[in-house]
């Protein structure tokens, strides 16, 4: 089955700097890769997603890149703000698995003022 | 309405109790899910309903029993739980999973403590 790894497990950046979180997946059939942000005590919220027919997607300060050959995808946050502090989970989904995502273990991002 | 509503928000139950968690969405989503999340861990899939039919049961113990009365409602019946079942239980919904992949909308969760 699918296995998703995520690095780093914790990340601290200064406000205004960029943050990058990387994920790798094992199943080459995976074709959909969402990213979720979970603030302390709150629900996971979808912040951006990418499909396998696209190499990059951007939404304001957030971007995701996908390298299908290497089977990895990354979340890029620019001009970080304190409210970006949260746990970020990547996930992968295969056609056979429908929308039964396999989540990465998470990255705790701290943006220091 | 773009939300998934879960009740109760908090629940404390004894190991001999029977309780139910409830989830409701009115976005027309035809797939609904139960996830379990332990502290500092990612969500783990428990059950998937597609068009009100159970399609996936990820080898969850029988003390957890899901029910999908209609396309908007999802319940999780709990009986004879163990302390290690204490966790945040998240409900999620998504568009028709047969039409492709879409992100989930998660509910706020029920924080369950088994004593």
* DSSP string computed for B27-62: S---EEEEEEE-TTS--EEEEEEETTEEEEE-S--T
Determine the pLDDT at residue B50: 86
Q: Do A89 and B45 touch (CB under 8 A)?
A: no
**Per-residue pLDDT tens digits for A71-104:** 999 999 999 999 999 999 999 987 665 567 889 9
Does the distance separating the beta carbons of B103 and A43 come in below 8 Å? no
Q: How many whole angstroms separate alpha carbon B114 and alpha carbon B11?
A: 8
Q: How far is CA B34 from the centre of its chain?
A: 3
Q: What is the three-class DSSP state of B115? A: coil
CB–CB of B101 and A89 under 8 A? no
End-to-end CA distance of chain A: 41
Q: What is the pLDDT of residues A43-64, one digit of tens each?
A: 999 999 999 888 999 999 999 9
Across the interface, whether the CB atoms of B43 and A103 are under 8 A apart is answered yes
Model pLDDT, residue B97? 62
Smallest Cβ–Cβ distance between B42 and the set A42, A49, A105 belongs to: A105
Task: Quote the pLDDT of residue B56.
Answer: 76
Residue in the structure block whose two tokens are 């989930």:
B104
Shortest distance, CA B16 to any CA of chain A (angstroms) = 27
- Show pLDDT as tens, one digit a residue, over chain B (115 residues): 679 999 999 999 999 999 999 999 999 998 899 999 999 899 998 998 988 999 877 789 999 999 999 999 999 999 999 999 999 999 999 886 665 667 889 999 999 999 9
A57 and B CB contact within 8 Å:
no
């Amino acid at each position: 089955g699918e296995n998703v790894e995520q690095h780093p497990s914790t990340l601290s950046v200064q406000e205004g700097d960029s943050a990058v979180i990387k994920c790798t997946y094992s199943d080459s059939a995976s074709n959909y890769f969402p990213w979720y942000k979970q603030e302390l005590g709150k629900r996971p919220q979808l912040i951006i997603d990418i499909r396998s027919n696209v190499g990059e997607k951007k939404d304001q300060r957030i971007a995701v890149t996908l390298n299908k050959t290497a089977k990895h995808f990354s979340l890029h946050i620019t001009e970080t703000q304190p409210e970006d502090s949260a746990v970020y989970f990547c996930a992968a989904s295969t056609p056979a698995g429908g929308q039964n995502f396999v989540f990465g273990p998470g990255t705790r991002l701290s943006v220091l003022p | 309405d773009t939300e998934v509503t879960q009740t109760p928000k908090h629940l404390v139950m004894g190991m001999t109790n029977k309780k139910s968690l409830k989830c409701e969405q009115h976005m027309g989503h035809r797939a609904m899910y139960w996830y379990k999340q332990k502290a500092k861990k990612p969500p783990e899939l428990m059950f998937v309903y597609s068009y009100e039919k159970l399609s996936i049961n990820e080898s969850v113990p029988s003390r957890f029993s899901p029910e999908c009365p209609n396309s908007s409602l999802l319940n999780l019946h709990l009986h004879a739980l163990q302390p290690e079942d204490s966790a945040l239980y998240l409900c999620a919904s998504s568009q028709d999973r047969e039409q492709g992949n879409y992100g989930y909308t998660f509910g706020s969760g029920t924080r369950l403590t088994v004593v």
